[in-house]
Amino acid sequence: MEISKAEISSAAAASAASTPSSPQPDSASIELMGSEVLMKALQAEGVEFVWGYPGGAVLYIYDALYKQDAIQHVLVRHEQAAVHAADGYARATGNVGVALVTSGPGLTNAVTGIATAYMDSIPMVIVSGQVPTAAIGQDAFQECDTVGITRPIVKHNFLVKDPRDIAMTMKKAFHIARTGRPGPVVVDIPKDVSFRKTPYAGYPQTVEMRSYNPVKRGHGGQIRKALQLLLNAKRPYIYTGGGVLLGNASDELRTLVDLLGYPVTNTLMGLGAYPASDPKFLGMLGMHGTWEANNAMQHCDVLLAVGARFDDRVIGNVKHFAQNERKIIHIDIDPSSISKRVKVDVPIVGDVKDVLTELITMIKESSAQPDGGALKAWWDTIGEWRSRKSMAYSLGAGDVIKPQYVVETLWNMTKDADTYITSDVGQHQMWAAQYYRFDKPRRWINSGGLGTMGVGIPYAMGVKMAKPESEVFCITGEGSVQMCIQELSTCLQYDTPIKICALNNRYLGMVRQWQEIEYSSRYSHSYMDALPNFVKLAEAYGHVGLLIEHPRDVEPALREARRLKDRTVFMDFRTDPTENVFPMVQAGKGITEMLLGSEDL
Partner 1 sequence: MKHIIAVLLENEPGALSRVVGLFSARGYNIESLTVAPTEDPSLSRMTIQTAGSEDVIEQITKHLNRLIEVVKVVDLTEGAYTERELMMVKVRAVGKEREEMKRMADIFRGRIIDVTDKSYTIELTGDQAKNDAFLHAVERGAIMETVRTGASGIGRGERVLRV
> 156 or 574: whose CB is closer to partner 1?
156
In the three-class reduction of DSSP (H, G, I as helix; E, B as strand; rest coil), residue 321 is classed as: helix
Judge whether 353 counts as a catalytic residue.
no
211, 277, 323, 367: residue in contact with partner 1 (rule CB under 8 A): 211
d(CA 75, CA 143): 22
CA pair distance 500, 17, nearest whole angstrom = 53
From 339, 381, 470, 489, residue interacting with partner 1 (rule: CB under 8 A): 339
**Helix residue ranges per DSSP H, 213-351:** 220-232, 242-246, 250-260, 291-299, 312-315, 318-323
Give the three-state DSSP class for 242: helix
573 is catalytic: no
Q: What is the Cα–Cα distance from 248 to 250, expressed in whole angstroms?
A: 6
CA distances for 271 relative to 229, 257, 260, 411, 480, angstroms = 26, 15, 20, 14, 21
> Do 115 and 176 touch, CB atoms closer than 8 A?
no
The only residue of 212, 379, 494, 514 in contact with partner 1, by rule CB under 8 A: 212
Strand partners, 501: 475, 571
- Binding of residue 176 to partner 1 (CB under 8 A): yes
In this chain, which of 67, 151, 550, 565 binds partner 1, going by CB under 8 A?
151
197 makes contact with partner 1 (CB under 8 A): no
Q: Does 152 bind partner 1 (CB under 8 A)?
A: yes
8 A C-beta contact, residue 97 and residue 462:
yes
Exactly one of 1, 7, 141, 168 is catalytic; name it: 141
> Which residue in the list 36, 45, 79, 516 is annotated as catalytic?
79
Which region, judged by CB under 8 A, interacts with partner 1, from 125-133, 208-216, 353-361, 491-499?
A: 208-216
Round to whole Å and give the CA distance between 271 and 520. 33
Selected range binding partner 1 among 43-51, 66-74, 151-159, 189-197, rule: CB under 8 A? 151-159
Q: Does residue 319 belong to the site contacting partner 1 (CB under 8 A)?
A: no
Size of the site for partner 1 (CB under 8 A): 17
- By beta-carbon proximity to partner 1, the closer residue of 211 and 524 is 211
For the question of residue 172 being annotated catalytic, the response is no
Specify whether 49 is catalytic.
no
The stretch among 88-96, 314-322, 332-340, 428-436 that binds partner 1 (CB under 8 A) is 332-340
Alpha-helix residue ranges (DSSP H) falling in 120-233: 146-150, 166-178, 191-195, 220-232
Active-site residue, 510 included: yes
Backbone dihedral angles phi then psi of residue 58, each to the nearest 5 degrees: -115, 15
Given the rule CB under 8 A, which of 153-161, 455-463, 502-510, 581-589 is the region that contacts partner 1? 153-161
Q: Is 148 in the site for partner 1 (CB under 8 A)?
A: yes
| Residue 318 in the binding site for partner 1 (CB under 8 A) | no
* Residues listed for the chain: 601
- Where does this chain bind partner 1 (CB under 8 A)? 147-148, 151-152, 155-156, 159, 176, 209-212, 334-336, 339-340
Catalytic residues, which ones? 79, 141-142, 191, 510
